[in-house]
Amino acid sequence: MIIVDNKLNARELNNNPIKVGVIGAGEMAKGLINQITKHTPGMKVVATYNRSLERPINAYKVAEIKDYKIVETEIEFQKAIDSNMSVITQNLDLLIKSKNIDIVVDMTGSIEFSAKLTIDAINNKKDILSFNAELDATLGPILKYKADKAGVQYSVAEGDQPGVTLNLYRFVKQMGFKPLVCGNIKGMLDEYRTPTTQENFAKQWGMSPVMATNFADGTKVSCEQACIANATGMKVAKRGMLGYKSKDHIDNLTGLYDVKELEKLGGIVDFIIGAKPGPGVFVYATSDDPLSIKYLDYGKLGKGPLYSFYIPYHLLFFEIPISIARMVDFNDTIVAAKAGPVVEVITIAKTDLKEGDVIDEIGGYKTYGICENSDISRKENLLPIGLAEGCKILKDIPKDQVLTFKDVEFPSGRLCNQLWNEQIELFN
């Protein structure tokens, strides 16, 4: 990103790198560590936390970090940092509390763990960047509120669709156009995919089968679009979004939407399956300025009333260092809720659920998630997918039926439920 590179180059010249703590050491975290170490001047991975040691050791090996130490105590941690070594630890507190770390980056996928991590970071006056759209779609408004109140930053990172879309949204808005659709271009969607059907694909890319299922069954795109909705104030046009299918180029599909309907809703988030170029994101915007309209036509964007802007990729961990620098050096939030929830991701039965069943994780065998406007979700007491894992089913639920809070019994003592209740009380 322009301007960020100059700032990072100056840090490199002054030997004053941004000091990053990475939480998690899965495939995306490994990519981030590699990207910072090999390709990002003015930034350093100071420490990595993971529950087991094998993955972070492998990640450091891939990134060619040879000068590191495995530590468990504050004294060992500080000694290693003072010796300019990178650290691997199974003690999360060392990263959260260290004054030698400028920002922590959450590269895990769990709702409950990430919620605890984020609250701990906020309580310890530490900026936190998240790569967890599921967390933000569920609890983003309360986490942003708490971060603001504590005087620290919370944001979702670039690299996944929400960050790329918000960059495009801001770019379009800055030019004086009015964004009315923030969209995601998906290759496929099948709500009934499972970790069994996705096993081979997951193995090919070194990801877990549940992560691959989360992408395929539509839950991931729903969470991503909910993040965007809550950051922009946009809604969904209907439960589950419109989700058109087309093999045409995204530039040619503006006619799918009615501008008056879009304006009535204040803009919408949506997705289109099969369109070109994919995968990517798009923003459809309008303008009422005659001179803008004239020169949009001259620039080959057509005669309106909707104009197509798109980015034909999202670049995963490659982009996260840009987000780190934007937060640390420019106090710039990439994706975070404006206020209270606007869109939620609700829970749908993927198969017939029986009384006594326990719901498995997102991307599992039992449920999938779709978007619904928050006012409707609360009126109907619908269960967010981010709270569904571990819940016990209290009565038989047929396939494709939406679940409510009355249909389940929650595990006791979960922070995510506590934060959800706070969020509802604060904003509703």
> Which residues make up the CATH 3.90.1210.10 domain(s) of the chain?
343-427
pLDDT at 1 over 70: no
pLDDT given at position 2: 78
Q: Which two tokens stand for residue 167?
A: 């960059």
The chain-wide mean pLDDT, for the chain, equals: 97
4-160+318-330 has which fold? Rossmann fold (3.40.50)
Span 76-99, average pLDDT? 96
Q: What is the pLDDT of residues 325-340, one digit of tens each?
A: 999 999 999 999 999 9
- pLDDT tens, residue by residue, 100-118: 999 999 999 899 999 999 9
Q: What is the pLDDT of residues 34-78, one digit of tens each?
A: 999 999 999 999 999 999 999 999 999 999 999 999 999 999 999
- How high is the pLDDT of residue 91? 97
**Rounded mean pLDDT, 185-199:** 95
3-class secondary structure per residue, the chain:
CCCHHHHHHHHHHCCCCEEEEEECCCHHHHHHHHHHHHHCCCEEEEEEECCCCHHHHHHHHHCCCCCEEEECCHHHHHHHHHCCCEEEECCHHHHHHCCCCCEEEECCCCHHHHHHHHHHHHHCCCEEEECCHHHHHHHHHHHHHHHHHHCCCEEECECEHHHHHHHHHHHHHHCCCEEEEEEEEECCCCCCCCCCCCHHHHHHHCCCHHHHHHHHCCHHHHHHHHHHHHHHCCECCCCCCCCEECCCEHHHCHHHCCHHHHHHHCCEEEEEECCECCCEEEEEEECCCHHHHHHHHHCCCCCCCCEEEEECCCCHHHHHHHHHHHHHHHCCCCECCCCCCCEEEEEEECCCECCCCECCCCCCCCEEEEEEEHHHHHHCCECEHHHCCCCEECCCECCCCECEHHHEECCCCCHHHHHHHHHHHHHC
* Under 8 Å between Cβ of 368 and 350: yes
User: How many angstroms from the chain centroid is the CA of residue 210?
Assistant: 16
Candidates 334, 317, 362; CA nearest to 220 is: 362
pLDDT of residue 202: 86
Q: What is the pTM of this model?
A: 0.96
Considering the domain delimited by 343-427, tell me its CATH architecture.
Alpha-Beta Complex (3.90)
- Taken in order 208, 209, 211, 212, the sign of the CA dihedral is positive
CB 190 within 8 A of CB 230: no
- CB-side exposure of 366: number of CA atoms within 13 Å? 21
What is the predicted pLDDT for the residue at 117? 98
Stretch(es) of the chain classified as CATH 3.40.50.720: 4-160+318-330
Place of tokens 């918000």: 166
User: CB-based contacts of 74: which residues, under 8 Å, 6+ apart?
Assistant: 94
In this prediction, residue 389 carries a pLDDT of: 97
Report the distance separating Cα 221 and Cα 241, nearest Å. 10
